[in-house]
Structure 1
Amino acid sequence: MKRLNNKHFDLIAAYIVLIVLGVMIIYPFFWLVGSSFKSSFEIFADPSFIPKKPTLNGYRNGWKAAGASTFLTFFKNTYVYVVLKVTATVVSAVLVGYGFSRFEFPFKKSMLSVLIATLLFPMTVVLVPSYIMFSKVGWVDSYKPLIIPSLFATDTYFVFLMVQFFRSLPRDMDEAAIIDGCGAFRRLIYILIPMLQPAIVTVMLFQFIWTGNDFLGPMIYLSSEFKFPVSIGLKISMDTSSGMISWENTLAMSVLAILPPLIVYILAQRNFVEGISTTGIKG
């Protein structure tokens, strides 16, 4: 009986710790949503997330933005950019991961080691040479420097994730397909990719969120306001000539910016968890 009570006590203590941590993590989101329905004065006067006098002024006025473009333009730019970036990343990561995991070629291990080593390389070091290179080819003030490199598997983390997931797949079906005369590309399309769904969803979800939140890349390469994504649009909404920031507008647009990634994560949660838990079983 004493042992049973100890187990119950440990279980209750674990639940209490998890609930406290959960509240600490999720409270800023509730505060953001609640404060988006407040006036600027009430945001600072009342620290709670429940508005006493709810208003939609933040959404009405915030949508107009502070510059010449509205947030409709910013959102459109963001998700065109995101879809193209995600597509390029998935295609390149799958192809390169397939090559490293299923084929033998000279210097394979050395090349994979160098590829993985770039995960430790600070990307800020290459910003200046990258900008000079893309400037000389006339790609500045366009999304080309942000999207086209992803076609060449420059997103090393996703390549590594795909390599690990490919290694976790049994080779029996590959060998059976080879006996039936199935080529390498057909094996990838008809046999392996259907089994890669959790890993592909994981890559898509991560890249969707990271690209949608990217501020530094668009800030460096884009100069025309009508090409700005939401991340820079939020910064513009805080840059006012009067020096007074309309916080209810900024918070309201921040809520709208968070909703699409949140919805995508909820819809893809099962495959995402499966992809994370399966990756790295073999290596």
Structure 2
Amino acid sequence: MASHRAKWTLYHILVGALALVMLYPIIWMLMSSFKESRTIFATANQLFPQSWHFENYTTGWAGVGGYSFGMYIFNSLKIVVLSTVGVALSSSLIAFGFARLNFFGKPFWFAVMMLTLMLPADVVLVPQYIIYAKLEWLNSIKPIVVPQFFGSAFFIFLLIQFIRTIPAELDDAATIDGCGKFRLYSHIILPLIKPALATVAIFSFYWRWEDLLGPVLYLNSPDKYTVSMGLKMFLDSESASNWGAMFAMSIVSLLPVMAVFFIFQKQIVEGISTTGLKG
């Protein structure tokens, strides 16, 4: 009994220490958001501020150049919601086709889709930019949002593995009852893959929220900037950067991500475990 208690105590001490090491950058950023901007890096080895500057949050929320940080959050939420809905619906529909339907060239197209996972994203940046420029989509969210409605290879593969765990007898029973292919997808398959769809939605939310490259490439007007670009505007190479306000708004920008994680952490674990173990 004593040996078990000692192992239990040692385990929690080690896990707590590891958690503290992993969380220290966020804790340091939180404490730095209350420091005076010019003293942040001069007192980087001091975790707690000598004097608390809560005005960093009001200054940061006021934004830069007349644009408030709330506008950047709204722009990011608009992109994130549209992209998440688009990638979840399109990826699930494509995955249903690969998992349940037989069509000409199916192995070939599946191989092509999987090969796109190995293609570095940087390789297609220039061709994509040229295409969007010819479509006159620049300085809009279309180049960021519209491609999500054509599926993501990673999410398609994940959903295929989940759909294959669903008994094919359900398809046969629904077909006998007069259910067509699209109705089979929308009324039978889609409700049964909710855990995997939740995983897709959550990861899509994270990736789109922290995306900087896409907005930098395609958005030119400050009123269309996202959170990542809004944070960058606090840095000025020609004059003093407002580090305090930037760290304050960095903490604010983490709140939606943390809220999504704590609310849907059960779906994250369930979706990953079911797609990984049953696939």
* TM range, smaller chain: over 0.9
Q: Of 20, 23, 26, which aligns to 1:23?
A: 20
User: Which residues of structure 2 form unaligned runs of 5+?
Assistant: none
Report how many aligned residue pairs link the two structures: 278
Specify the alignment match of 2:186 in structure 1. 189
The answer to whether the 8 A contact 1:35-1:248 is kept is yes
Tell me the distance in 1 between the aligned counterparts of 2:156 and 2:69. Answer: 34
Aligned partner of residue 160 in structure 2, secondary structure: helix
Structure 1 residue matching 2:164: 3-state secondary structure: helix
SS at match of 1:237: coil
Q: Structure 2 counterpart of 1:228, which letter?
A: Y
- Is the 2:234–2:243 contact (alpha carbons within 8 Å) kept by the matching residues of 1? no
TM-superposed CA distance for 1:12, in Å, is 5.2
Shift of 1:41: 4.3
| Corresponding letter in the other structure for 2:85 | T
Residue 173 of structure 1: aligned partner: 170
In structure 2, relative to structure 1, the CA distance for the partners of 1:103 and 1:96 (3 Å cut) is same
| Deviation, structure 1 residue 104 | 1.0
Deviation at 1:9, TM superposition (A): 6.3
The CA deviation at 1:13 is 5.0
For residues 62-211 of structure 1, the aligned pairs below 5 Å read 62-153=60-151, 155-211=152-208
Distance 2:52 2:229 in 1: 27
Q: Distance in 1 between matches of 2:194 and 2:69?
A: 33
TM normalised by structure 1 equals 0.91
User: Given that residues 32 and 244 in structure 2 are in contact (C-alpha distance below 8 angstroms), is that contact kept between their aligned partners in structure 1?
Assistant: yes
Equivalences for residues 41-52 of structure 1 within 5 A: 41-44=38-41, 45=43, 47-52=45-50
Give 2:245's aligned residue: 249
Q: SS in structure 2 opposite 1:238?
A: coil
| Counterpart pick for 2:33 among 32, 36, 40 | 36
Is 1:274 the equivalent of 2:264?
Answer: no
Distance 1:25 1:17 in 2: 12
- Out of 249, 254, 271, the position equivalent to 1:258 is 254
Displacement after TM superposition at 1:76 (Å) = 1.1
Does the residue aligned with 1:168 lie in a helix, a strand or coil? Answer: coil
How far apart, CA to CA, are the structure 1 residues paired with 2:37 and 2:257? 26
Distance 2:31 2:7 in 1: 35
Q: How far apart, CA to CA, are the structure 1 residues paired with 2:11 and 2:154? A: 33
How far apart in 2 are the matches of 1:245 and 1:98?
50
Which amino acid in the other structure matches residue 73 of structure 1? M
What is the SS of the residue equivalent to 1:220?
helix
Shifted more, 52-61 versus 39-48: the winner is 39-48
Deviation at 1:280, TM superposition (A): 3.5
What's the offset of the Cα at 1:52? 4.0
TM-score, structure 2 as length reference: 0.92
Query: How far, CA to CA, are the matches of 1:48 and 1:179 in structure 2?
Result: 70
Secondary structure at 1:142's aligned position in 2? coil
CA distance in 2, matches of 1:72, 1:36: 18
Residue 55 of structure 1, CA deviation:
2.4
